[in-house]
Amino acid sequence: MNKITKKITANLALIILILLLTLGAFIIYISYVDYQPGHVETLLTDPDPDTLLLSEEFKLLSWNIGYAGLGAEMDFFYEGGDMVGPSRPFFEKYLEGIAMTFQAMDSIHFFLFQEVDVHSKRSYFINERDLIVELFPGYDHIFAKNYDVEYVPVPLMEPMGQVYAGLLTMSKFRPSEAKRYAFPNIASWPEKLFLPDRCFVETRYPLENGRELIFLNTHNSAYVSEDSLRDLELHIIRKKMLEEYEKSNYVIAGGDWNMNPPFQKAVHLKTPDNYEEHVLMLEKDYFPPGWKFAFDPHYPTNRSVSSPYVKGETAVSIIDFFILSPNINKLKVETIHLDFENSDHHPVFLKVKLLLKEIQE
């Protein structure tokens, strides 16, 4: 081997060594700062909560706002697209559009929001949580992070970078308590270092009859290798719901389930979009008799982000809905169809009445 070849080989070896050391140092750092929530974490305890009246009808809204980054013009690399986040003008357009939609929602009693960014590169480090809270003065709010990573290194040519986001629950009433319940990790090390730490958020409100009204705001896993992991998440939240109902409390769980509710078929949709069944569908008998699935069968709540949205061509589905305990009467449920202009999800509206005596649907 001549001197030139030896020098090239030595330089290449040095470069590889430096890259490996850099990668190792990066993994060590990310492991050190990795967000590791407890199984259950108390977010709020209020000794002077509001007491809710059984005679009142309550209005709810659940919406995955997609961090104001997944409007109609966007695709997303995790689902086969090319983009990581929108340009600044499109981000501002989506954020303003979401805020404008909120202006007509001041009659809502309870909001369940998902994918709300606090300090993320993908949303230009705009604090969306604070912006939403400011739009609803007088509302109480609970925030639980489910994505806190210092640096997401993919895709390599345009890394996602820092992500700090979570679930936001808001209400016109003061809760007595709020807790964060962790879902299990869906990936092994080191992949799990760069993925969300899924959870659901429980908020509790005392009722005049001595019972409690309990909301669970959830965002279940989307990108998993095994359906059994989704089943495990479902088992955890289902167990919590059944336990609270056995105490004679009233339970409403809602959010982005990343699966279809029972019975949903494409023929029900009034829109010309192409309906696509999700990889997982909840079975009707997953909950005991009397439990209710509340969703609008006429309109989709989610669209594929493998490419920008084209009405009538882009695959759509229903994965945002509510589950109600038997002592709650579903009065109205409606998907607010916005043509996915500012988010890859549509908001879902629900009106309910609490029952003194259970009725079967």
Residue 89: per-residue pLDDT: 98
| pLDDT tens digit sequence for 17-27 | 777 777 777 67
Residue 270 lies in a domain: yes
Residue 157 lies in a domain: yes
Same-domain pairing of 79 and 106: yes
Q: What is the DSSP string of 15-56?
A: HHHHHHHHHHHHHHHHHHT-----SEEEEEE-SSPPPBPTT-
Residue 359 lies in a domain: no
| Residue 202, domain extent | 39-354
DSSP state of 193: G
Same-domain pairing of 220 and 293: yes
Same-domain pairing of 278 and 319: yes
What's the rounded Cα separation, in Å, for the pair 12 and 160?
Answer: 29
Same-domain pairing of 132 and 73: yes
CB 110 within 8 A of CB 171: yes
Same-domain pairing of 320 and 224: yes
Residue 13: per-residue pLDDT: 75
Same-domain pairing of 225 and 295: yes
Residue 93 lies in a domain: yes
Residue 204 lies in a domain: yes
Residue with tokens 């023929």: 267
Q: Quote the number of domains for the chain.
A: 2
Same-domain pairing of 317 and 344: yes
The token pair that represents 3 in the structure block: 């001197």
Domain CATH code at residue 113: 3.60.10.10
| pLDDT tens digit sequence for 254-309 | 999 999 998 755 445 555 557 776 667 888 889 999 999 999 988 999 999 999 99
CB 335 within 8 A of CB 346: yes
Same-domain pairing of 173 and 97: yes
Same-domain pairing of 120 and 70: yes
| pTM score, whole prediction | 0.92
Say how many Å lie between the first and final Cα of the chain, rounded: 83
Residue 360: per-residue pLDDT: 45
Residue 95: per-residue pLDDT: 98
Same-domain pairing of 156 and 16: no
Residue type, 123: S
Residue 157: per-residue pLDDT: 83
CB 215 within 8 A of CB 203: yes
Residue 360 lies in a domain: no
Same-domain pairing of 158 and 232: yes
Question: Could you list the pLDDT tens digit for every one of the 361 residues in the chain?
Answer: 577 776 777 777 777 877 777 777 767 777 767 778 899 999 999 999 999 999 999 999 999 999 999 999 999 987 878 898 999 999 999 999 999 999 889 899 999 999 999 999 999 999 999 999 999 999 999 999 999 999 999 887 889 999 999 999 999 999 999 999 999 887 777 778 878 999 999 999 999 999 999 999 999 988 665 666 778 899 999 999 999 999 999 999 999 999 999 875 544 555 555 777 666 788 888 999 999 999 998 899 999 999 999 998 899 999 999 999 999 999 999 999 999 999 999 999 999 999 986 544 4
